[in-house]
Amino acid sequence: MTTTKYIFVTGGVTSSLGKGIIAASLAKLLQAQGYRVTIQKLDPYINVDPGTLNPYEHGECYVTEDGAETDLDLGHYERFLNVPTSQANNVTTGRIYQSVIQKERRGEFLGKTVQVVPHITNEIKRRVQLLGKSGDYDIVITEIGGTVGDIESLPYVEAVRQLRWDLGKDNAIVIHLTLVPFLSAAGELKTKPTQHSVKTLMESGVQADILVCRTEHNLPKDLRRKLALFCNVREEAVIQSIDASTIYDVPNLMLKEGLDKVVLEQLNLESSTPDITKWNSFVHRHKNPKTDVTIGLIGKYVELQDSYKSILEAFIHAGAENEVKVKIESIHSEYLNEDNIKLKLGHLDGVLVAPGFGERGIEGKITAVKFVRENNIPFLGICLGMQMAVIEFARNVLGLEDANSTEMEAGSKNPVIDLMEEQKTITDKGGTMRLGAWACDLKKGSIVHDIYKSDSIKERHRHRYEFNGTYKEQMETAGMIATGLNPDTGLVEIVEITEHPWFVGVQYHPEYKSTVANPHPLFVAFVKAALNHKKNHKGVSMAQN
């Protein structure tokens, strides 16, 4: 195939309809028919990337192999497709304007007035086609963040209109995701909001080709017919997306509705029956666990589930792999202390101390690490979680009572976690952390060496502070071993406590690399350790394992 085909996914009526999941599910079905597919997200906000956003604002910040700080939808794309995304897969209005303004400063517009149309729209079009032009993909799905009708979405919709014209209608189609609400007082599903949002899109010159309608109830045939008639689409292009108990059901729901078929037909591409056997065996294991484990997720953004999206999904993959339901107990680190720690953590089969930034809630995290270390509860510390494990060990085992991270206490006398040398001169906050995939050598005989079954791995990072190497020998003598080292810099990437049955702290973020096809080995092993803990401490029958 020579030309790359483009699918645009827009949203109408309301936000949070799950465009990312629909895009990822469609991509899965197309991939399972042999097409090379990628998904891109265009975000209409002014931040250059979500790296500077508080998790309460925008959920987790997802990190790609090449070190882009991106929208959490890219996590869904990777988890569904098992194909890495990159910097090019997430573009914000901030980044678009930044490139255009930099070009203007370089004088590249040759004295012309720089305007939204054509300069901003041209930059959007260039970014959309960048992935297509790489030659790596047959189909590029571009999800446009926000809702049509928003002021900030307008340049994107205009770019879509132009691209459809430039590329031809069977090379670029538009899927519009809308809501069909059920009014319980009237006992009816209502099509009017969809009609209006399709009309809003048309005011910008874009006719939707396919409607995906989010609904709590099945859409009857006459309602589909009505939507087709009023919205100028074919009847089979009205797709229902009914609420699902898990996002992993959505590809099958879309298959049943024939979304992949309509899409391929409209793009003039051949369709076949997608082979999703492996996917379905995962869904089956996910839905039919043989037993369960309870894992505490200790963080300070726990009120918002999206803050730890990739961690929660990695537990779903690891749970399915172990045929176990992983029950997550979210625990707010700010309210943990010596007096309530046993009550809050005593019953858990495993504890994960989450990534994070800043001082709030860290003493609770340290108290939690102490409790799990002393009580032999399986522990996984991720990024800040690993740093807290190092501080706890220094304070309570080495007796360095004032040990701290210089992130929390700039003048700490025992800075066991410290800023990297090259970070000390950095003043900009955006995009300046240690980001993306870095190599790590694993120590033979360690837990991690056994888990990864490899001498060297690559994992994704997002942090400024590091284990302070001057304390390494002291720590190791006392039993906290550095079992993963960066081969070039010697930076400590993993720590373990030999005396403990399963205590692992990692400076990187394993959760970003867990996918349905490749559940992350560290999460799989952690869940298994939790299961063993449960068996040993609660006498649970392990016949099924």
Residues near ligand GLN (CB under 6 A): 355-357, 383-384, 407, 462-465
Q: CB of residue 108 vs ligand GLN: minimum separation in angstroms? A: 36
Up-side HSE of residue 330: CA atoms within 13 Å toward CB? 13
**Of these residues, 461, 463, 511, 533, which one is catalytic?**
511
Please give the single-letter amino acid code of residue 321.
E
Cβ neighbours for 235, distance < 8 A, ≥ 6 positions apart? 224, 225, 228
Backbone angles phi, psi at 145, to 5 degrees: -65, 165
Closer to ligand GLN by CB, 356 or 519: give it. 356
Strand, helix or coil for residue 17 = coil
Helix axes 121-133, 154-167, angle to 10 degrees: 50
> Is 158 assigned a catalytic role?
no
Minimum distance, C-beta of residue 382 to ligand GLN, in the bound complex (Å): 7
Q: Catalytic residue at 313?
A: no
Closer CB to ligand GLN, 247 or 420, in the complex: 420
265 in catalytic set: no
For the CB of residue 462, give the shortest distance to ligand GLN in the complex, in Å. Answer: 5
Q: How far is the CB of 313 from ligand GLN (least distance, A)?
A: 17
Name the binding residues for Mg(2+). Answer: 73, 143
Least gap, CB of 419 to ligand GLN (angstroms): 8
Name the residue nearer to ligand GLN (CB basis): 319 or 355. 355
Contacts of residues 448-453 at CB distance under 8 Å and 24 or more positions apart, as own/partner, are 448/483, 448/484, 448/494, 448/496, 448/504, 448/522, 449/483, 451/521, 451/522, 451/524, 451/525, 452/521, 452/522, 453/521
Please, what is the minimum distance in Å from the beta carbon of residue 423 to ligand GLN? 9
Beta bridge partners of 42: 91, 144
Report the residue number, 174 or 437, with the smaller CB distance to ligand GLN: 437
Residues in Cβ contact with 297 at an 8 Å cutoff, skipping those fewer than 6 apart? 308, 311, 312, 328, 329, 330, 331, 352, 354
190 CB-near residues (< 8 Å, 6+ apart)? 180, 181, 182, 183
Q: What six digits make up the tokens of 422?
A: 């090259």
Give, as one character, the DSSP assignment of residue 116.
I
Between 209 and 407, whose beta carbon lies closer to ligand GLN?
A: 407
CA 159 – CA 145 distance, rounded (Å): 14
| CA count, 13 A, side-chain hemisphere, 89 | 29
Closer residue to ligand GLN in complex, CB, 45/357: 357
Return d(Cα 468, Cα 421) in angstroms, integer.
11
What is the smallest separation between the CB atom of 387 and ligand GLN, expressed in angstroms? 6
162-194 burial: b if 16+ Cβ within 10 Å, else e: bbbeebeeebbbbbbbbbbbeeeeeeebebeeb
**Distance in Å, CB of 355 to ligand GLN, minimum:** 3
Catalytic residue selected from 383, 461, 493, 496: 383
User: Which lies closer to ligand GLN via its Cβ, residue 449 or residue 462?
Assistant: 462
Residue 4: helix, strand or coil by DSSP? coil
> What single-letter DSSP state applies at residue 482?
E
Query: Residue with structure tokens 């302070």?
Result: 468
> Could you tell me the sign of the dihedral formed by the alpha carbons of 416, 422, 426, 430, in that order?
negative
Q: Which is nearer to ligand GLN, 138 or 493 (CB)?
A: 493
Annotated binding-site positions for ATP = 16-21, 73, 244
Residues at the binding site are 15-21, 56, 73, 143, 150-152, 190-195, 226, 244, 356, 384-387, 407, 464
Query: What is the number of alpha carbons within 13 Å of residue 480 lying toward its C-beta?
Result: 29
Q: Which of these is catalytic: 76, 119, 509, 533?
A: 509
Provide φ and ψ at 347, rounded to 5°. Answer: -90, -5
Catalytic residues: 383, 509, 511
